[in-house]
Amino acid sequence: MKVFILGAGTWGTALGGVLHDNNHEIVLWHVEENIARDMELSRINPNLPDYRIPDEIKITNEFDHIENSDIILITVPSQFIRDVIQKLPPTRKDAIFVFGSKGIENNSLLRISQVINQFSGISYDRIVALSGPSHAEEVCVKLPTAVVSASKNFHAARFVQKIFNNNFFRVYSSNDIVGVEIGGAVKNVIAIAAGICDGVGYGHNTTAALITRGLAEITRLGVSLGGEKETFFGLSGLGDLIVTANSSLSRNRYVGENIGKGKTLTEVLSSMNMIAEGVKTSQSVHDLVLRHGVEMPISEQIYAVLFDEKDPKKAINDLMTRAPIDEKF
């Protein structure tokens, strides 16, 4: 297959390596011309310095060859997808659009599949989400990883499953794209909360409770938006939440941990050269809570910490002193 990857960040680079190993023809696109040129010459992504990009992968800042691609793979941060989609030249009428980005667009509150559909005219039957617990750093060195391919069109989900699946990158299929998208996006908010707990010095009990009740919130929101409850206990829900909330490779956990240690959001973000999707997603989740009336106390406290400068310890105390309730998912 001919695959054009929109986004030469760590995840686009890693997935390009998976597809190259599966004998597909890859073009890797970066929004900045100078970075694309440097990567093409050095065969190194600056954020993956120990991984050499195979020589057969073309790296570019142009949209050359996209019109002949079988698959358009989108890995740019969720808040930039609309801009990138609107700049694309015409693509094949049967091309499959796959996205590995995780987020909910601010203001519009659209999921990524909705952004692609509304601003490109691509049918939902040709849109596939690829999501799950998958740090690029581990995929690049071929550590066993499992993700899920989801689409309203089961045939498209299974087609993408076959394209990506190999002996170190296992892909399951699903037709619950809503649940897969919400799980992948909102777990980043809970991962920030987990980082905050570690940053202020709380222990494993706290993190375990946070992950469990965070999953309840993700499930509650996802089901209210049309997702299937079972999806949130799978790879794109519980699986992705576990790895993002616990791993030192998690950007979102890093943000939370440093805020827990007393840094401001501005200070933390200015020190990073990659994007933590959970920060923007927290704003979208807050707006979804207001729109749909879904109870999400952890997510709301994280919003208050990030954007209202609420003290993290006060936020956790407010969660702990809420009126007792039954445990429900």
Whether 233 maps to a domain, the answer reads yes
Stretch 256-284: mean pLDDT: 96
Which pLDDT does position 98 carry in this prediction? 98
- Of 128, 144, 175, the residue at which a domain comes to its end is 175
Same domain for 117 and 220: no
Q: Do residues 195 and 301 both lie within one domain?
A: yes
327 lies in a domain?
no
Note down the domain range covering 154. 2-175
Do 266 and 235 have their domain in common?
yes
Q: Report residue 57 as tokens.
A: 């992968």
Alpha-carbon 284 to chain mean position: 14
Total tally of structural domains belonging to the chain:
2
**CATH code, domain with 54:** 3.40.50.720
End-of-domain residue from the set 140, 175, 210: 175
Task: Summarize the confidence of residues 26-53 as an average pLDDT.
Answer: 97
276 Cβ neighbours under 8 A, 6+ residues apart: 188, 192, 251, 252, 254, 255, 269
Residue 21 resides in a domain: yes
Q: Which candidate, 305, 290, 294, places its Cα nearest to that of 107? A: 290
**Can you state the angle between helices 312-320 and 297-307, rounded to 10 degrees?**
160
Do 110 and 235 sit in the same domain of this protein? no
Q: Are residues 33 and 123 in the same domain?
A: yes
- Domain assignment present for residue 25? The answer is yes
Paired residues of 203 in beta bridges: none
For residues 153 and 295, membership in a common domain is answered with no
Q: How far is the C-alpha of 27 from the C-alpha of 41, rounded, in Å?
A: 14
pLDDT confidence of residue 328: 80
- Residue 10 lies inside a defined structural domain of this protein: yes
- pLDDT reported for residue 88: 95
Length in residues, the chain? 329
Retrieve residue 204's tokens.
Answer: 């494993």
Would strands 58-60 and 25-29 be described as parallel, antiparallel, or unpaired? parallel
Asked if residue 250 is part of any domain, the answer here is yes
CA atoms of 323 and 329, how far apart (whole Å): 17
Average pLDDT over all residues of the chain:
97
Q: What is 223-269 written as a DSSP string?
A: HHTT--GGGGGSIIIIIHHHHHHH-TT-HHHHHHHHHHTT--HHHHH
Q: What pLDDT sits at residue 141?
A: 97
Report, as residue numbers or ranges, the catalytic residues.
Answer: 187
Among residues 228, 211, 157, 222, the alpha carbon closest in space to that of 184 is found at 222
What is the mean predicted confidence (pLDDT) over 78-97?
95
**Alpha-carbon distances of 152 from 113, 179, 310, 313, rounded to whole Å:** 10, 11, 40, 42
**Is the same domain home to 240 and 291?**
yes
pLDDT at 272: 95
Tens of pLDDT along 274-328? 999 999 999 999 999 999 999 999 999 999 999 999 999 999 999 999 999 999 8
Contacts of 61 (CB under 8 A, 6+ apart): 29, 30, 31, 32, 33, 36, 37
Same domain, 240 and 276: yes
Query: In this predicted model, what pLDDT tens digit does every residue of 239-254 receive, in sequence order?
Result: 999 999 999 999 999 9
- 145 and 100, same structural domain? yes
pTM of the model: 0.96
Given this model, what pLDDT does residue 217 score?
Answer: 97
Query: Residue 62: inside a domain, yes or no?
Result: yes
Are residues 9 and 146 both part of a single domain? Answer: yes
Domain's final residue, options 160, 175, 190: 175
Query: What are the residues whose beta carbons fall under 8 Å from the beta carbon of 154, sequence distance 6 or more?
Result: 173, 175
Give the per-residue pLDDT at 15.
Answer: 98
CATH of residue 282's domain is 1.10.1040.10
326 assigned to some structural domain: no
Contact indicator for 210, 244 with CB cutoff of 8 Å: no
Same domain, 195 and 271: yes
| Same-domain check for residues 183 and 291 | yes
pLDDT at 329: 78
Cα separation, 272 vs 275, in Å, equals 7
